[in-house]
Structure 1
Amino acid sequence: MLLLTCWLLPTLTLGAVDATTIAKPNEKNTANQVEILKGFDHLSRESATCVSCHREKSAGIYQQWGSSKHFGANIGCYECHKAKAGEVDAIKHKDFIIAVIVSPKDCAGCHEREVKEFDSSHHATGGLILDSLDNVLAEVVEGAPTFQGRSPVSVSGCEGCHGSKIEVNSDGSLSASSWPNSGIGRLNPDGSKGSCAACHTRHAFSAAQARHPDTCGRCHLGPDHPQKEIYAESQHGILFSANLAQMNLNSSKWVVGEDYSAAPACATCHLSATKDLPLTHDVGSRIAWNLRAPISFRIDEKDLAKGLSVKPWLERRQDMKSVCVSCHSRNTTDNFFEQLDAFVELYNEKFAKPGSQLMKLMSAEGLLTKTEFDEELEWTWFYLWHHEGRRARHGAAMVGPDFAHWEGMYEVAHRFYIEMVPQVREVIETAKQAGKTEAAAKVQTLLDQILNSEFHRWYLGKSDRAQELMKAVTPHK
């Protein structure tokens, strides 16, 4: 049955909470307050006109909107899609000037704080993948510019999560090579970054949906960033699945320890309110490590080196701990983060830094070509840090033991010792045969230093500890 609208619907707030939880104008929100935006007294003439047609022609969209808080507050089609003549993506539709894309800049008309937080987040920069090695793979190695000058792999793959750069045709319509797209870091025609609909899918724009781990799992999964799979194997994920009915996902404020306590979702740790922290749309504001890079670093390190003022990593760590202690003891929480730091530092020192040093030296000495991914060693190194190394680090960070070990560091070690080291030796021999003896000697010296270090001496049969451990091993039958 189709929902019916009326110009004179009563004013409804965007959440059913006590008046004490409503943030007053110019008053700073605390964790236990929810900012309630006052709706309109009635649906606008423009939106009512839209509805009169689209409830028949776009019944699915109409029903989604009808179940939303926007509907209850008389926020209609026109309030979000309205545009001004002369805007790059403005089109004439019936009697109105509209834009197909509703960007964060449009959402900021009501949700200013949320958009400001999002704009300072790592999510907002997702579209910058267009300048990364991943995009070289999608555009060149895997793909070809067969679709309006773009690779279909990039359009349907990378940009589906990271966001496309929206191209507007001369008639105001949107290019098929960039739209439809709801990637988190989409580069919009109005200059804004991102898509709120990446998490709050149109046209219901549900907070409950954004809080569900499956929403994050749309992009955070797979061999190189399997956060969804790690979460599913963790005790956190198991508890969520077993107690979904107790998660109270539709709560207006959704404060852990008050509105729910059965399990944390992704949003609990990274975004949602606690008794001490307010809700944030800056997904990295509680993250202390960069676990994506070839070599992990503290999240504020590069910005501080540029002289930028950013939230210190230690403050971010304390904020994350304040989430953990909603359910765990302080001692348990502190010990966990000591374990995480030790794991990340081991990955860095044992594999990431030596591997990076070898790759940089071989490149600097002209022993690798300037073309990316045309040599087996480049693929080996990419797999080591981009796939296995990320899996290991995120496994440790998200309490996923199998990903930390078997699908993580075990694979890193195998890739390093059984593939990378022999391939480096092959590069050295090839260089010698080509008369590049000095360059070969430099790489050999570095490789010898690495393999004779305390981390790798076992590989050369020089580790007393390894020998002692092997004596105690029960042979496989």
Structure 2
Amino acid sequence: MNKISIGLAIIIFFLIGFSTAAHAQKNEVKDNACVGCHTMVGATKGILNDWSMSKHAINNVTCDSCHAADQGDKDSFTHNGFLITKAPSPGDCSKCHPDQVKQFNAGKHSLGWTKMETASRYKAIPNDMMRASMCEGCHSIGKVYADGSAGKCDSCHTRHLFSAEEARQPEACETCHMGLDHDQIEYYRTSKHGVITDLDRNTTRAPTCVTCHADGGTHDVSQGITLGSVSQGAFISDRNSGNDYITSPDGIIMRSITQEDFNSGRTTMLQICSRCHSESFARGVLEQADEIKRQSDAKVGEAIKIISDLYNDGLLDPMPENRTLNPVTGNKLTLTGHQTYSNTSEIEAEFFEMYKYALIHAWKGAYHMNPDYAHWYGWAQLNLDLEKIKAENRTLRRLAELEKALETEKTGTKAGVVPGFEGFVAIVALAIMISIILIRKRR
């Protein structure tokens, strides 16, 4: 066979192969009503593009595999003659991914929605539209569906690609784990671990979020966490409070864990850390962070004592009974836990920033091996906030003393004092005190 004949044979072979592939794709589209119809609907082009690049598409897991509903399903509806659900639930996902759903249910992500719904700060947001754009955007990772299952797989595996590789990247966690009250992405990015990862994405020298929090592909992101836990962390007690929150010895609302819980979690985390570090180094870093957590909690405890004493003496301005009611606790003094950032006093507002921001930066920064967050954003700011609270306490008490002196003048003068002069002095002193406070606030 000459070269021309060989060339023609090769061309014919590729033309036949291309025609066969095109025919196969055409048959697939024709055989699947969802793909066939949505291919012609421009509005869903992005959905099909993502799906076509997914492992679902490779394994012929088409739209109906996830969206098909059973008769009687609460969230089902008829669509072009098919009974479907608009948003597949974790219950639907568990038909193919039972282990992953079970692991997810064991972790704290699964509680995101139910905890949010009971929170005072969520309830205090004016309306549903605002809540949807704020809290619900992140807490929907634990969304509860009509079938009772909880979770939102596409919080990490964005639809309709549902890429495991995408979910392993630090950016997958960034939308929710950032900001004033839990800046984990910045703790990580500006730590040595994060810097190494940013410099060389192909390296295996440094861990990402999933290395420590989703070891081996588990979907239980709570594994190995001890005093860190979620929200305000945890303290060691003689009982495990489970998913409930109780008051710590420092007066902070948080979870309690037993020493056995602590030891088990610490062993798990040390096993992970020891793949790169010596166990003694890893243990030292974690124990240093434990100490920062305890000392930082104690600072917040000092502030709680000051504000509680003001409350007991009736000196908060305004007192809780003279404000709009807290959606959960009513007119009780509420510090940490269900404390809100509105309808409060100035000293309580200062405390909110102390416990919700600086406290978290101190110990979460330490657990993420970020010295700057642990110190300047955390411990240093905690101490500064405490000094402001102490100063406000002194001011409120001095004002109370002056008001008491004025009240005494109204009811009678002291012996040996020129009538009317004591009241004049008290009024002048009060005016000076108010002026000092106003000047301080302007600064």
Normalising to structure 1: TM-score of the pair? 0.67
- Structure 2 counterpart of 1:357, one-letter code: K
Distance 1:110 1:63, change over 3 A: same
Q: Which moved more, 1:226-235 or 1:330-339?
A: 330-339
Distance 1:43 1:213, change over 3 A: same
Residue 112 of structure 1, CA deviation: 1.0
Render the CA deviation track for 1:418-450: whole Å, top value 9, x for unaligned.
Answer: x21122223434555676xxxxxxxxxxxxxxx
Aligned to 1:192: 149
Q: Which moved more, 1:95-104 or 1:292-301?
A: 292-301
Aligned to 1:289: 227
Which of 65, 87, 90 lines up with 1:104 in the alignment? 90
The runs of 4+ residues in structure 1 deviating greater than 6 Å are 308-311
- SS of residue matched to 2:291: helix
Aligned to 2:207: 264
Distance 1:293 1:79, change over 3 A: closer
Matched, 1:331 2:276: no
After superposition, residues 161-172 of structure 1 pair within 5 angstroms as: 161-163=138-140
After superposition, residues 204-283 of structure 1 pair within 5 angstroms as: 204-246=161-203, 261-273=204-216, 279-283=217-221
Distance 1:397 1:79, change over 3 A: same
Which of 306, 309, 326 lines up with 1:358 in the alignment? 306
* Distance (Å, rounded) in 1 between the aligned partners of 2:46 and 2:89: 21
After superposition, residues 287-436 of structure 1 pair within 5 angstroms as: 287-290=225-228, 293-294=231-232, 296-298=234-236, 301-303=240-242, 312-349=261-298, 351-363=299-311, 366-368=314-316, 369-370=319-320, 371=323, 372=340, 373=342, 374-417=344-387, 419-432=388-401
* Distance (Å, rounded) in 2 between the aligned partners of 1:405 and 1:94: 60
Normalising to structure 2: TM-score of the pair? 0.72
Aligned to 2:424: none
Render the CA deviation track for 1:333-364: whole Å, top value 9, x for unaligned.
Answer: 11111211111111122x12222233344445
- Structure 1 counterpart of 2:137, one-letter code: G
* Distance (Å, rounded) in 1 between the aligned partners of 2:84 and 2:105: 24
Aligned to 1:17: none
Render the CA deviation track for 1:93-124: whole Å, top value 9, x for unaligned.
Answer: 11111111111111111111111111121111
- Structure 2 counterpart of 1:356, one-letter code: I
Root-mean-square deviation (CA, aligned residues, Å) is 3.0
Render the CA deviation track for 1:39-96: whole Å, top value 9, x for unaligned.
Answer: xxx9996xx1100011232221112111111112211111111112332221111111
Distance 1:309 1:352, change over 3 A: closer
Render the CA deviation track for 1:110-161: whole Å, top value 9, x for unaligned.
Answer: 1111111111211111112222243255x0xxxx33xxxx2x3321111101
- SS of residue matched to 2:142: coil
* Distance (Å, rounded) in 1 between the aligned partners of 2:91 and 2:309: 45
Matched, 1:52 2:31: no
**C-alpha contact 1:293 1:385 (8 A) present in aligned 2:** no
Distance 1:322 1:375, change over 3 A: same
Structure of greater Rg: 2
- Structure 2 counterpart of 1:330, one-letter code: E
* Distance (Å, rounded) in 2 between the aligned partners of 1:298 and 1:287: 13
Distance 1:4 1:98, change over 3 A: farther
- SS of residue matched to 1:244: coil
* Distance (Å, rounded) in 2 between the aligned partners of 1:367 and 1:125: 38
Distance 1:92 1:354, change over 3 A: same
Q: Quick check: which one's helix share is greater?
A: 2
- Structure 1 counterpart of 2:132, one-letter code: V
After superposition, residues 167-178 of structure 1 pair within 5 angstroms as: none
- Structure 2 counterpart of 1:398, one-letter code: H
Distance 1:364 1:44, change over 3 A: farther
* Distance (Å, rounded) in 1 between the aligned partners of 2:271 and 2:292: 22
The percentage of counterpart residues that share the same residue type is: 30
Any unmatched runs of 5+ in structure 1? 10-41, 164-183, 247-260, 274-278, 436-477
* Distance (Å, rounded) in 1 between the aligned partners of 2:183 and 2:257: 31
* Distance (Å, rounded) in 2 between the aligned partners of 1:295 and 1:62: 42
Any unmatched runs of 5+ in structure 2? 1-20, 247-255, 324-339, 405-443
Distance 1:44 1:160, change over 3 A: farther
**C-alpha contact 1:296 1:348 (8 A) present in aligned 2:** no
**C-alpha contact 1:290 1:298 (8 A) present in aligned 2:** no
